Amino acid sequence: MGSLYEEIGGAGLLRTAVTLFYRRVVADPLLAPWFAGVDLPRLRAHQQAFLAAALGGPDLFTGRDIGQAHAGLGITDGAFDQLVFQLATTLRDLGVEPTLVASVCRRLEPLRCAIVGHPAGGDPTISPAAAARPATPPGC
């Protein structure tokens, strides 16, 4: 068995998934406001590199840490949940096994505190590798 990245289909599947995912995100009334005016081609490339690293694939991610990238954006728990839901739905629609989709969601859950906010004593600087810690995904 390989990494979760390999199990879901590697670079080819992830590239397609990220493209479809952002189509859904910008069409989602809850999420669209956070992406208005954003350079989506750049964000898609950035997200693909981030997810590859977070899922155990090649670590080519060179962006800011996730806490810095999302600081001050006012992202809510509901928006985080909806974003994970949109990604999970995209992966399922592309034929990724439900157990693997749930594993992807668990990998992303530890990022919640850095994306949604910085609770007292929390660490807002989480690398893609930190996403490998298991957690229970909401609604996956």
CA dihedral of 52, 87, 137, 13, whole degrees rounded to 10 = -40
The answer to whether the pTM exceeds 0.85 is no
Pick the CATH number of 4-132 from 1.20.1290.10, 3.90.25.10, 3.40.228.10, 1.10.490.10: 1.10.490.10
pLDDT of residue 13: 95
128 is written with which tokens?
Answer: 């893609």
Distance in angstroms (rounded) separating the CA atoms of residues 107 and 55: 7
Q: How many CB atoms lie within 10 A of CB 58?
A: 12
Average pLDDT over residues 84-91: 96
Q: Where is pLDDT greater, at 93 or 70?
A: 93
pLDDT at residue 121, as a whole number: 36
Residue 52 identity (one-letter amino acid): A
Quickly state the pLDDT bin for 115 (edges 50, 70, 90): confident
| DSSP 8-state class, residue 99 | H
CA separation for the pair 36, 56 (Å, rounded): 30
Matching residue, tokens 């590697």: 10
What is the b/e burial string over 106-132, where b = at least 16 CB atoms within 10 angstroms of the residue's CB? bbbbbbbbbbbbeeeeeebebbbebbb
Domain layout of the chain by residue ranges? 4-132
